[in-house]
Structure 1
Amino acid sequence: MTFLRFAVRRLVEMAVTLLGASFVVFGAMYLAPGSPASFLLSGRSASPAALQAINEQYHLDDPFLVRYLRWLGQVLQGDFGRSLTYRTDVSGLLADRLPATLLLVAMALLVVVVIGLVLGWIGAVRGGTTDSAILVTTTLAVGTPSFVAAVLLQGLFAVKLGWFPSSGAGEGLLDMAWHLTLPAIALALYLIGMLARVTRSAMLDALEGEHVTVARSRGVPEREVIRRHVFRNSLGTVLTTGGLIVSTLLVCTILVESAFSVGGLGQLLELSTTTKDFPTVQAISLIIVALFMTVNLLVDLLHPLVDPRVTLGSRRSDA
């Protein structure tokens, strides 16, 4: 299958999946207990006339399918509606909070990739006591949830030692990076352990391959054997795990942002869910679904590049 045909097919699949996801996202909020009208009234009693005015303003009395189609048409034009909580356009809210979330995820991903790959490499190559120590360390990391790591890091390095800010996202790129250092580490800790163990396992499997034995018999330096014949052949498995890592980062950022009061999309999603801010929750949920599918598409497109034995579409058919 050619690259172009595969990419077009996957984009069509993404569009269909997004359409189905949009219906689920829109409908799920209306199945939850409570209503936007009760939040807008802040618990106060209201006359039937006042309730009717609110329902007409926000089209809450329209049939479900009519509301969905109206919302979908607005989304296709880049309009996610108006926030019930903040009384402003949802698009503006997302634009203000998206940079902090993207920088946090990017920093956490960098930490995961660098440390996870290095630990996995060392564990597979060195073996012995070093490998055992790395296994114990990564097991502890995998067993530590992100919100627990956030509380521990915040209490030690921000509150007690005062080395890092305890909350907020800062202003400007460098200040934001400084404020997001602890949240990024908390977000990355669990995934570092997972990537290290996957890398170690993949490299140990590759070390047992016949091509490695042949390379060594030909006198190829060990460092070159590890780099070209072991690590490179492990990248397919590592890349597949990388897609899962990015998806997990997008989900776990909600907990970490709330713990550090980052003020990104994750914290906005939590607050909007609590206050029944339907338009905001629907917009963020749809964006997260779209990011998930984009990550999976990129993994599928990159997989044949890091592992020539894989052809476009073969992983999907084998699954």
Structure 2
Amino acid sequence: MGWAGFLLRRSAGTAAVVLLLSAGVFGLLYLAPGDIQQTLLGTRPATASTIAALRARYHLDDPVAVQYLRWLGGVLRGDLGVSIRTGQPVGAMLGERLPRTLVLTAYGTLLAALAGLPLGVLGALRKGRASDRLVVTAGVVGLSAPPFAVGLLLLVVFALGLGWFPVYGTGEGFAGELWHLTLPAVALAAGAAGMLLRFSRAALVRELDQDYVVFARARGLSAPVVLGYAMRNSLVPVLTAAGLVVTGMLAGTVLVEVTFALPGLGSLLVDSVTFKDVPVVQALALLLTLLIAAVNLLVDVAYSVADPRVRLGGGAS
């Protein structure tokens, strides 16, 4: 199967998953405790005229399937509804906060890769030695540390104690915002670096034990060349870990943004759940679903670049 067929098949599968999950996101309105109209009213007084206007606005008297199709049509047109809490268009609220969450996720992923991958390679090359045991211990510690707990520790030590970083806020300009996002990104990167370390070390150890590595060394190839071959062949499990890292960071931003008082999607989700702002919660759930599906699609494409057999349907190349 060529590139066109591979991308078409992966994209179709992703679209089907997103469509299925969109039905679940729409179902949040009916899964919320209490009556639907009371959920949509939120903290507003429930007068007869308000309830009648609400039922007409959200077409609550229509069948559920019709309501879902109408909601999905609005989503495809970019109409995500209006916030119950603020009265603002949901799309505008998401557009204002999305860039900050994406920058934080990318920053954390970069820090995790810069820390985890070299340590994983070091552990594989020094297998069984003291440095390898130290690397493995660091990976276990990183995986065991919740992001919000790491964030609180970083705030106490580096913001309140040493005063090297700001306690909260977003900063001004690109450099200022990046500086304010450093501690949150480190909090996100701690566990992610541990995962990348464990996956990259295990994959490289397995490859270094393969027969082709022994043959390459016997032919007199230099150590860097042999290591390059082994690292390329260990990319698939590392890419799997990278996909898990990015999706995990998208979920981890919820607590980290609240810890550092960052106005991103995570803090918006917490506020919306607290005030039962269902349209915003629905839009956030759908947006996170789309982002995670996009990450998984990119990982699938990266698989095919690292190993052409994936693109060819798993057969021999």
Structure 1 length as normaliser, TM-score? 0.92
**Residue 101 of structure 1 contacts residue 265 of structure 1 at CA under 8 Å; is this kept in 2?**
yes
Aligned partners of 1:81 and 1:90 also within 8 Å: yes
Distance in 1, Cα, partners of 2:312 & 2:124:
29
Give the aligned CA root-mean-square deviation in angstroms.
Answer: 1.9
Give me the whole-angstrom Cα distance separating, in 1, the residues matched to 2:253 and 2:205.
32
Matched, 1:267 2:270: no
* Count of aligned residue pairs for this structure pair: 313
Residues 30 and 170 from structure 1, CA distance in 2 versus in 1: closer, same or farther, beyond 3 angstroms?
A: farther
Question: How far is the alpha carbon of 1:181 from its aligned partner?
Answer: 0.4
| Mapped contact 2:213–2:226 kept (Cα < 8 A) | yes
In the TM superposition, residue 257 of structure 1 has moved relative to its aligned partner by: 0.9
- Name the SS of the counterpart of 1:262 in structure 2: coil
Structure 2 counterparts to residues 195-274 of structure 1, below 5 A: 195-226=196-227, 228-274=228-274
Q: Which residue of structure 2 lines up, in the alignment, with residue 287 of structure 1?
A: 287
In structure 2, the CA distance between the partners of 1:126 and 1:265, relative to structure 1 (3 Å rule), is: same
- SS in structure 2 of the partner of residue 276 of structure 1: coil
TM-aligned CA distance change 1:57 to 1:245, over 3 Å: same
Equivalent-residue separation in structure 2 for 1:47 and 1:233 (angstroms): 66
Q: Determine the structure 2 residue equivalent to 1:99.
A: 99
Is the CA contact (8 Å cut-off) linking 1:191 and 1:245 kept in structure 2?
yes
In structure 1, the residue matched to 2:149 is 148
- Which secondary structure does the structure 2 equivalent of 1:85 belong to? coil
Q: Is the 8 A contact 1:146 1:187 kept in 2?
A: yes
The more displaced of 300-309 and 209-218 is 300-309
Cα deviation code 1:236-267 (max 9, x no counterpart): 11112211111111111111111111111111
SS of 1:102 mapped into structure 2: helix
CA apart distance, 1:310: 3.6
* Aligned equivalent of 2:85: 85
Which amino acid in structure 1 is aligned with residue 286 of structure 2?
Answer: L
Instruction: Assess if the C-alpha contact under 8 Å between 2:188 and 2:253 holds in 1.
Output: yes
User: Which letter maps to 1:151?
Assistant: L
Alignment of 1:41-52 (within 5 A): 42=43, 44=45, 46-52=46-52
1:255-293 Cα deviation digits (max 9, x unpaired): 111111111111111211221111111111111111111
For 1:294 and 1:256, the matched residues in 2 are separated by 22
Give the secondary-structure state (helix, strand or coil) at the position aligned to 2:311: coil
Structure-2-length-normalised TM-score = 0.92
The alpha-carbon distance between structure 1 residues 90 and 209, as it changes in their structure 2 partners (threshold 3 A), is: same
- 2:2 alignment partner in structure 1: 2
Maintained 8 Å contact 2:28/2:282: no
Instruction: Write out per-residue CA displacement over residues 153-188 of structure 1, whole angstroms, 9 at most, x where no aligned residue.
Output: 112111222211112222321111111101001011
> What's the CA shift for 1:307?
2.5
In 2, Cα distance between equivalents of 1:105 and 1:89: 25
State whether residues 167 and 179 of structure 1, in contact with CA within 8 Å, keep that contact through their aligned partners in structure 2: yes
Residues 36, 278 of structure 1: 8 Å contact kept:
no
Q: d(CA) in 2 for partners of 1:262 and 1:36? A: 31
**Structure 1 residue 308: deviation in Å?**
3.8
Asked whether the equivalents of residues 273 and 281 of structure 2 are also in contact (C-alpha less than 8 Å), the reply is: yes
Counterpart position of 1:53: 53
Q: State the Cα distance separating 1:220 from its structure 2 match.
A: 1.5
1:62 Cα deviation after fit: 4.2
Call closer, same or farther: CA 1:193–1:261 in 2, change over 3 Å. Answer: same
Q: Is the 8 A contact 1:138 1:194 kept in 2?
A: yes
What is the alpha-carbon distance in structure 2 between the residues aligned to residue 14 and residue 304 of structure 1?
16
Deviation at 1:106, TM superposition (A): 0.5
Q: Which moved more, 1:72-81 or 1:160-169?
A: 160-169
Residue 92 of structure 1: how far off its partner (Å): 0.6
Contact preservation (8 Å) 2:269, 2:284: yes
Q: How far apart are 1:314 and its partner, in Å?
A: 2.8
1:136 CA displacement:
1.1
With over 3 angstroms needed to count, the CA separation of the structure-2 counterparts of 1:76 and 1:309, relative to structure 1, is closer
Assess, with a 3 A threshold, how the Cα gap between structure 1 residues 275 and 159 changes in structure 2: closer, same or farther.
Answer: same
**Alignment gaps of 5+ in structure 2:** none
**Aligned-partner Cα distance in 2 for 1:164–1:208:** 45
- Contact 1:112–1:189 (CA<8 Å) still a contact in 2? yes
Partner of 2:74: 74
